[in-house]
Structure 1
Amino acid sequence: MSHVDIRFTDKNSERFMLARRVYKVIEDLENEYLYPDSETLGGFKFRDGQYKFSQIDEGEWTDFDSENDYWGYKEDYAWFRHSFTVPERFAGRPVVYQLTPSASGPWNRSNPQFIMYFNGELRQGGDSNHSEIRLLDCAKGGEEFDCCLNAYSDAWEFKGKLRMGARLKVVDNLVNRLIFDLKTPLKVASLYDADDLPRIDIVKALNDAVNLIDFNTADYDTFAASAEAAIDLLDREIYSKDAMDATACCIGHTHIDVAWLWRLRQTREKAGRSFATVLKLMEEYPEYKFMSSQAQLYAFVKEDYPEVYEGIKKMIAAGRWEVEGSMWVESDTNVTSGESLVRQFLVGKRFFKDEFGVDNKIMWLPDVFGYSAALPQIMKKAGINYFMTTKISWNEFNKVPYDTFMWKGIDGTEILSHFSPSTDCFDEGDCWQTTYNAYLNPEHILGGWHRYSQKDLNKEYLCTFGHGDGGGGPTRDMLEMGHRMAKGIPGCPKVKQEFAIDFYHDLEKEVKGSRRLPKWAGELYLEFHRGTLTSQGRNKRYNRKSELLYHDMETICAIADSNGIASYPRQFINDGWKIILLNQFHDIIPGSSIKEVYEDSKEQYDKLISEGKAEIADTLGKIVCTPDGSALTVFNTFGAERDDVVITDMPAAEHFSIVDADGNVMPWQKSADGRLVFFAKGVPAKGYKTFSIVHGGESGENTVKVENKTIENKFFTVKFDKDMNIASLIHKATGRSVAPEGEVLNKIYAYDDRPFNHEAWDIKVYFDQKYTEINDVSAVDVTESGPVRTVIKVTRKFLSSTIEQSFIFYADLPRIDVDYTVDWKEKKILLKADFPVDVNATEATYDIQFGNYKRPTHRNTLWDFAQFEVVGHKWVDLSDNSFGLSVLNDCKYGHDIKDGHIRTSLLRCAVNPNSEQDREVHRFTYSIYPHAGSVDTSDVVNQGYSLNLPLYCVSGKAAHDSYSLVSTDKDNVIIETVKKAEDSDDVVIRAYETWNKTTDCVYTFDRAPKSVYVCNLLEENEEQLEVSGNTVSLRFKPFEIKTVKVTF
């Protein structure tokens, strides 16, 4: 039972005293009348450990003394059971069962939690907000119950000091009704000033009502009649009056973090507990409607709690449970790749459609740490029409000016968006944060209306109510107050419970064509949690490598399948994608979870990558149908022809040449670890090329010159200073120095990283106030020198950590790779690499999903100032129209480009909530790529893919000397994905335009297709294309994503 928060400021006035009197009456009703009888229960048996309900009789149970025994250690799982009989004196009245597990003080919001079984039936979850379950609506007396409690404690608070107790209590329904009839309008009145009419009228009516309650009678019927009279008066004087001309469209909700301060295995239980509680409350409150997103949670419940899952299906069919959200999980949208976002929708929407017959239309991301400008197009092409969040309200410096608006992406696609404005901050000037865990009470309902920015556009807003993050959901108190606000209370918006999709449909009708409907173009940058672009570097590397591994696997397996070589492992690939998608949840991939979450994640990733590599190797072995030590077949999974470096096992011969079918000789050398490194030219897009090993030849001429600290190839002249920083980098084609005179490239800085809260999440604007240059060089070695590349290894010491940098200078690639192995031991440090660039640029360009995005390099406005750490994927670039520098990477996402400097974040090591975060060995690569001209005339996109998609090499010959499944004739059209269709043997090809240009292009296939259809991201056909031989022509709009389905 919630208390009444008296917020009156005039506490010496008569009006305040009258309100305080009402509060006292409510307090007395709750303490003396609501539960007229109760009985303490004991007799608990205890069994430690995590078991299914079906296993509870398999082990030994011990007695548990409610007065003297304790439980509840870190991640402590246990079962309690006891039997009891409802006393005969309870007959004819409602009875609740109440858990009382706390040792002392308040029951912590996330500790402990229970799943309650009565007589073998799962009935409800239990937590600090749901400690009671309505056991009987009308007891007969003598009912017998066998109660089993599945208990969990995360030990954030109690640490082994939890007791276990329970009570049976009789509830007076009439008193309960009277309490909420009084309490709800009193909360409304408390939100107004002394002279405001809603307050004056409500307090008067409340006092008139309490005057009718007969507290002095010993006769219950007399008391009940007086209570009924008070209720009737309230109906006439408050609930029959007009409410405010505004409506809060409310939907029950529980935000369940798939992992955060708990592991995945606990999330499965949280979903079961929360959903069971929802179903139980739906039995009691017929107007209650509930919504939950994240297909993964439903999949967990289907597997672990089939009885709950069946209950959910019944409520969906009854129109009371809404399944929306569209995605497999509520994923991060900063770090997650474009193809992964497509799969979040593809896998999520297919699950909801297959399981429940629902076609989702809302992208539901209440708690994500920023929103990519690529999203509107991805949403629209996945059949999503609406977007919802609240997290953007957490901005540090600037309040987003709109709550209802059209969000415009990089390609021009617009999505109707609504930010739920629910907040307990009554005065907007004091607080602009909103919540997705609203309470269905007057404070949040009226606070949300005052916070709502588009009152001139429409009179309704969306409110998601219920306890969340760790689950739980709405409470009886919320539903009771919601019922009263639905009737209407003067001075308060009216409440109606409805599905989110119905709210959006009505909103669309209301605002369509309105000139007052604002637009927001570009990304929705969250001015908060910037550190999540870098925290937990290992997981970010795993994510990138897994995304690319499955990109490669799908391409290679599609080639094999479409040529009748090997069947496509659709189920294997789909199962793997679900693991990738799961780990993109917005508290896993950002690095903001506890240590144990990343132990689980590492185990999943290691298995995923190992099995994925094995599948690729097996399929490549089948494509290379003639094992032959005198040939090497090189596979290119990228969508354009490549000249690139290949690393594979050395052939048995000592003296040989590598030549292609046209007799062109490829340079080669032996790597430091004894492998073959050679430069493969002309490897076709989405295909392969075979090279012959000719005995007796030569490896080629070494054209990379090393003299003292100067390295020169045909692209660059590089000079290192005494600390092995790049003192000079001259781009030969232009004669330009990359860095301004007197500045050095590639210097590593260690910044004192001490955010005042949210350690794993935040980098604060003052991070660069204190820093150390890492210049201590302990060793310099030339580890390789040959016709393909020269490698210089630099070892640095910093405090207790070791940093190894291997600078790779290629004979035929116009970039310098820097491979890192970092054995990191420090805490609270942000490590960045700095690249000053001598160009005149007010904007920098960042690779994002299916395109790129420009951001200012200055701090002219507070909006510019706030973006001191931003996201970029495979590359970032700072250029003017004549020259520029790109910094590529294979697993880094956090960057800042201000005042002519590119700074890439390499790692950071917060201590909360994971005290060991990033204190381990890190491996990553970034590349320095100077270029002539502006960014859009450079080769940066291909170079970024080249770094991230290494060529594969297999000993032997394939069926063709050179083969390409599909290619395009335009460099700015990037063929990203090749896969088999979800429901047919067709080949799906997804590409995008990368430089904001309308482009006509031609796809060339390996044979003449029977048909080619343009389809959406869900692989639903939209338009048939005309086939001309083995080609089709397509037009791409700027930054357009286009998917085609090909039947061979």
Structure 2
Amino acid sequence: MAIDLLTQTLPFIKSHIYPASVPLSDWKLKEGEFPHAASPSLNDTKWWKYTIPAPWGGYDKTVWFRRRVRVPREFSGKPVALLLDLPESLLYLNGKPYHGVDSHHQEVLLTTRARTNQSFLVAIEAYSGRRSELSTFNSAELVTLNPTARLLYHGLLALHELERTAGQSTPESKEVREIIRQTLVFLKYFKPEGEEYPNAIVRAYNFLSRTLETEYKTDIQGLIHLIAQSHIDVVWLWRLQETKRKCARTFSTVLRLMEEFPELSYTQSQALLYELVKEKYPDLYKEIKQKVSEGRWHPIGSTWVEPDCNIPNGESLVRQILHGKRFFRREFGLDSDVLWLPDSFGYSWALPQILKKTGIKYFFTTKLTWNDTTKFRHNTFWWQGIDGSKVLSHAPAVGLEGSIAPKDLKKSWEGFVEKEESPETLQTFGFGDGGGGPTKEQIESWRILRTIVGLPPSTFSSVTGFFKVVEEHAGELETWDDELYLEKHRGTYTTLGWVKRENRQAESQLYATELLSVLGWIFGATAASRRYEQDQIEKAWKKLLLNQFHDIVTGTSIAEVLDDVRKDFAEIRRTCEQLQHRALSGLVKNVKRRTREYDFAIFNPLAWKRNEYVLLEVKSKGKNFLVLDDHGRAVDHQILGRKKGIVHLLCYLENVPPFSFANLVVSPSTTQPAAAAPWKISHRLVDTPLYRLRLDSKGHFTSLYDKTLRRELIAKGARANVFQSFKDTPKQWDAWEIDPEYPSKQFELLKFNRIRILEMGPLRAAIRIEHKSDSGSSVSQDIRFYHKSRRIDFLTSVRWKEKQTLLKVSFPLNVKTSNATYEIQFGALQRTTKPTELRHRAMYEVPAQQWADLSEQKAGVSLINDCKYGYDASENRLRLTLLRSPHYPHPLDPLRLTDNRVTDQGDHQLSYALYPHAGDWRTGETLQRAREFNQVPLVIRGSADRISPLISYASSSIIVDCIKKAEDSDDVIVRIHEAHGQPAKVTFEFGARLEAVAECDMLENDLAPLKPVKSKLTLKFSPFEIKTLKLAFKPKR
């Protein structure tokens, strides 16, 4: 009975929300993006006349609408608003950004007490989106507003849904029906069109709100902390330029809501978004800063953007937080203590330590609700990292864009696992990605539902406030001591291979740039080299951090985004090359020698002596050459070829010092060195000093015998270095997902074409194996063997014309083990190769950094890569995923998110290496070989003084991750980590005059002074511990 009456009454109440209206049909229109379109001083007489409803726009169009609005006499003294029905838009009022308009935010309050003939200049910047169909400005009205009618309407709607959610025969639903019945009594005897009906609405709402203050209270012991927010992807189905406007729309809407609802506070992550608004909308930014100072707007998250956490290396994750926190401190005078990553595609096990050492106490995500195989077992828990660091974490039962609706509140509470240990959970609400954030309906519904029977109590809160309450019960919470692997989006480790390659190269370039800039600053002989260009380096880092956003580096944005990505990576490369050249100008000098002699300086950017093959280019007509090192000793070399008068010379250098130079002098010689080529090579056999390789008629490895280890490396009867192709057709999220059924969809795509012997000199031999497909795809692979290096390199060129096809390379190995080891940021982890638990079977594709390894006690094999991140291992088989070719995402297909265009088609350059070794990956120094594969020596024309290594040590378990100038002082920051997962005691020696040294956190805040003895410092490391040192050197002047 009550529900039937409610259904009849709701339309009457709704009709009183806007008692009077005036249509606003006539507008001025101008297409395009141009400055000052909203300015009151703009002359718009030449704009087109536009009468609504009417079409506008088209594909990717911006259109401006303008008109002046005057308040009629009958609206005087009343709240007056605009009602607008058009796509995502930003409304400017009297020249300033004022309010976003979208399907969830169509009411724009102009004034709470209008004056007759009060005038408003309204300018609307509207965006059509990426569809070819025309958009429509459906309607525009100037209306009077009855706020109480709106409150009652939304409150009764919420009660109606609660009654349905509670279940018809439950005691709670009975009580809800009784509340509804009593409230409707105040309206029952009045005609909706009568003069008394508005007063009846006021009485009804007053009764409802007063009654719920004292009666019909929930008996649930707990609390939901509601967080108003808007998850805005930096890019995704739009470009960065559009993100700036999305921010303006959402942020302006939130500011207006705060004026209307004093209880509302708002949370917004990502420092970059604030910077974009600061640059493009300074007036809006001032309003935001004011709300921050009032404690109602909460900048949060600690990062520059919300990054992917599988592909960026450890130093990149540190810089996300370093630059994010520095921005928040500088702009708002506050420090965020939460890592807010609701939408990234899995979370590295290294993160807890990074968070602890950047002053972050709490971790939040909602993405684990997306798991496709198992349900994650916790909501509130301690997350323990690979080093033992713990952070208090929350992964609520309801996803990111929840609403304040009874079904979501009920789901949030019923799905909450830790009710007994910690009876408070968190739920976000607000529309994201241009949806405008929280709505009036959500806030007004909450006023009714916050303590009502049948639901848990709820309160508007802040994220830090929530976690501080949880800390009171933290001792009773369980610990998750593992990575947070997302059972979803496994294809993101591979999609858009060229972006992954650019990312890896940019990380390597920035590492070398900072290192050389420090060396130039300390040891440089010229003023230019002694200038550390911190601003330029920071700008390059921020471009990289932007492109590590979780929908860029993962390959899950629309194709148009990639134009900006290419420009950004090109600029990073250009900056690094310029700054490296500047630093080297003071470290390497030109030497005047005889005309036919050539000097080369070889720089080793790594922290250990390395033996390396380097390529020199010499302009000469000579047939033979003499290569001498610093000490005048002959250096083994091999002529690879000549092209346009340039001789390509491969040289083998031993013991190139860490963070320093070795010099070579090349001159023509009348005699050829007597070194013989130590190889036997045919189309089926490659016999080297270290290995004996046999191939079948298709170019696959049938045997790889290690002469040093005296063992066969390929599994008996198996074929290795096999390119395996699979149809990859997930049901949705094509760019994100690998079809879980792909193993059953294997097919032969690449067919053997030919094999050629490329090189057979004293240092290196190489064969080229070519494969082709009927569809036009091809793979040309140069496999290189070295006379002294145990690494076998596979330089691979792919012409890819496939669609929805997965390409892997497979190595079945003669190794008996139950676990594979994978490098992650600042460490390594094991994953089972013989899964028995369902959650382990769900890990059929896993992320890794530079290598994966299968080892027994006595020997093992590592598979190293230079730009790939997806692996799988089963039993004794190790595979690296090389390419996918899914459809790009498309904004007009929200269910499948597929464009008709396909990613990754075109030419690819990628390399991987097989590295057999004695012992396990630790004993075999896989880490060192992988770093060498990814961080090649720099070859510079000229001669360098051999500088002492800035820092040196004798331990294979310690890795230097960065050497940079401190952000706010003239100190040098050195970040190092223990990489073997074992305790270590290491003595470091410094190669420049050391005035002081301190251990600091990753934000470069001092923790404790350290006491070196005669430029030496001994430190203890716990397993996988990261340390950051702050060194005060006296620069050479």
Q: Is this a same-fold pair by TM over 0.5?
A: yes
**Cα distance, 1:383 vs. partner?**
0.8
Q: How do 1:834-845 and structure 2 match up within 5 A?
A: 834-845=810-821
- The answer to whether structure 1 residue 945 and structure 2 residue 931 are counterparts is yes
Contiguous gaps of at least 5 residues in structure 1: 1-16, 102-111, 422-433
Counterpart of 1:418 (choices 394, 398, 409) is 394
Secondary structure, counterpart of 2:936 in structure 1:
coil
CA spacing shift, 1:86–1:875, aligned 2, 3 Å: same
Aligned partners of 1:704 and 1:810 also within 8 Å: no
Q: Is the 8 A contact 2:681 2:757 kept in 1?
A: no
Distance in 2 (CA, whole Å) between partners of 1:1007 and 1:614 is 25
Report the Cα offset of residue 322 of structure 1.
0.5
* 1:877-913 Cα shifts (integer Å, max 9, x gaps): 0111122111100000011101211111101000141
Moved more, 131-140 or 1035-1044: 131-140
Counterpart contact for 1:533–1:590, Cα < 8 Å: yes
* Corresponding residue of 2:896: none
1:229 aligns with 2:203: yes
How far apart in 1 are the matches of 2:483 and 2:43?
55
Whether the 8 Å CA contact 1:66–1:163 is kept in 2: the answer is no
Shift in Å, 1:691: 2.5
Which of these residues, 105, 110, 114, is aligned with residue 139 of structure 1?
Answer: 114
Instruction: Determine if the alignment matches structure 1 residue 349 to structure 2 residue 332.
Output: no
Aligned residue runs from structure 1 range 360-759, under 5 A: 360-421=336-397, 434-486=398-450, 488-509=451-472, 511-514=473-476, 517-565=477-525, 566=529, 567-627=531-591, 629-650=597-618, 652=620, 654=622, 655-672=624-641, 674-693=647-666, 695-696=668-669, 698=672, 700-759=675-734
Aligned to 1:160: 134
Q: CA, structure 1 residues 835+979, in 2 after alignment: closer, same or farther (shift >3 Å)?
A: same
> Which has the higher mean CA deviation after the structures are superposed, 977-986 or 44-53?
44-53
Deviations 1:902-930 (Å, cap 9, x if unpaired)? 11110100014152310111111000111
Q: C-alpha displacement at 1:502, in angstroms?
A: 1.1
* d(CA) in 2 for partners of 1:904, 1:491: 52
Letter in 1 for 2:185: N
Alpha-carbon distance, 1:592 to partner: 0.7
Greater shift after overlay, 129-138 or 520-529? 129-138
> What corresponds to 2:258 in structure 1?
282
Q: For 1:254-286, what per-residue CA distance to the aligned partner results, in whole angstroms no more than 9, with x for missing partners?
A: 000001000111011111111111111111111
Task: State the secondary structure of the residue aligned to 2:835.
Answer: coil
Moved more, 187-196 or 760-769: 187-196
Distance in 1 of aligned mates of 2:502 and 2:562: 11
- RMSD (Å), alpha carbons: 1.9
Matching residue's letter, 1:464: T
What amino acid is aligned across from residue 22 of structure 1 in structure 2? L
2:118 pairs with 1:149:
no
Partner of 2:978: 993
1:187 shift after superposition: 2.4
**Matches of 2:743 and 2:672 in 1, distance apart?**
52
Is the 2:683–2:756 contact (alpha carbons within 8 Å) kept by the matching residues of 1? no
CA distance in 2, matches of 1:307, 1:941: 51
Matches within 5 A, 1:760-909: 760-798=735-773, 799-909=775-885
Whether the 8 Å contact between 1:214 and 1:222 is mirrored in structure 2 is no
Aligned position for 1:106: none
Partner of 1:312: 288
In structure 2, the gaps of 5 or more residues are 890-898
- Find the residue that maps to 2:561 and give its secondary structure: helix
CA contact (8 A) 1:747 1:773 kept: no
Residues 642-680 of structure 1: per-residue CA shift (max 9 Å, x gap): 111112322547333223234443222233564332112
Residue 906 of structure 2 is aligned to residue 920 of structure 1: yes
Alpha-carbon distance between aligned partners in 1 of 2:859 and 2:46, rounded to the nearest angstrom: 75
Relative distance call for 1:59 and 1:739 in structure 2 (3 A) is farther
How far apart are 1:719 and its partner, in Å?
1.4
- Give the whole-Å Cα distance in 2 for the aligned partners of 1:916 and 1:40: 46
User: C-alpha displacement at 1:208, in angstroms?
Assistant: 2.0
CA contact (8 A) 2:24 2:141 kept: yes
Letter in 2 for 1:439: S
Q: In the alignment, residue 512 of structure 1 is paired with which amino acid?
A: A
**Residue 954 (structure 1) aligned to one of 940, 943, 949:** 940
Distance, in Å, in 2 between the alignment partners of 1:866 and 1:968 is 41
C-alpha separation in 2, matches of 1:669 and 1:774? 37
Tell me the distance in 2 between the aligned counterparts of 1:471 and 1:183: 21
Correspondences of 1:245-260 after superposition (within 5 Å): 245-260=221-236
Q: Which residue of 1 aligns with 2:988?
A: 1003
Aligned partners of 2:209 and 2:448 also within 8 Å: no
Q: How far apart are the structure 1 equivalents of 2:712 and 2:180?
A: 79
What is the CA-CA distance between 1:471 and the residue it aligns to?
4.6
Instruction: Provide closer, same or farther for how the CA distance between residues 54 and 193 of structure 1 changes in structure 2, counting only shifts above 3 A.
Output: closer
In 2, the alpha carbon distance for the partners of 1:902 and 1:190 equals 53
Mapped contact 2:380–2:393 kept (Cα < 8 A): yes
Report the Cα distance in structure 1 between the residues aligned to 2:198 and 2:571, rounded to whole angstroms. Answer: 66
**Contact 2:246–2:433 (8 Å) recurs in 1:** no
Alpha-carbon separation, structure 2, partners of 1:690 and 1:600: 40
Aligned-pair identity in percent equals 32
Farther off after superposition, 648-657 or 948-957: 648-657
8 Å contact kept, 1:648–1:675: yes
Do structure 1's residue 37 and structure 2's residue 28 form an aligned pair? no
Please say if residues 440 and 481 of structure 1, whose CA atoms lie closer than 8 Å, have aligned partners that are also in contact.
Answer: yes
The answer to whether the aligner puts 1:240 opposite 2:214 as a matched pair is: yes
Tell me if structure 2 keeps the 8 A contact 1:731–1:931: no
CA offset at residue 218 of structure 1? 7.5
Letter aligned with residue 26 of structure 2: G
Cα offset, 1:617, TM superposition:
2.6
Bigger shift: residues 822-831 or 134-143:
134-143
The Cα shift of 1:774 comes to 4.6
Alignment counterpart, residue 974 of structure 1, candidates 932, 953, 959: 959
Q: Does 1:22 align with 2:45?
A: no
Contact 2:345–2:489 (CA<8 Å) still a contact in 1? yes
Q: Which letter does structure 1 place at the counterpart of 2:589?
A: C
Shift of 1:197: 1.6
1:176 aligns with 2:150: yes
Worse-matched range after superposition: 763-772 or 181-190? 181-190
Are the equivalent residues in 2 in contact too, given 1:688–1:964 (CA < 8 A)?
A: no
- Give the SS at the match of 1:844: strand
**Counterpart code for 1:949:** Q
Cα deviations across residues 327-384 of structure 1 (Å, max 9, x unaligned)?
A: 0000000011100001001111001011111111100000010000010001111111
Q: Is the 8 A contact 1:185 1:489 kept in 2?
A: no
In the alignment, the residues of structure 1 paired with residue 938 and residue 563 of structure 2 have an alpha-carbon distance, to the nearest angstrom, of 30
Q: 1:416 to 1:68 in 2, by over 3 A?
A: closer
Which amino acid counterpart does residue 29 of structure 1 have in structure 2? I
Aligned residues: 1003
Tell me by how many angstroms 1:872 deviates: 1.0
Aligned to 1:52: 35
CA distance in 2, matches of 1:998, 1:246: 43
Distance 2:535 2:44 in 1: 38
Pair 1:977–1:218, CA change in 2 (3 A): closer
Moved more, 907-916 or 176-185: 176-185
Partner of 1:204: 178
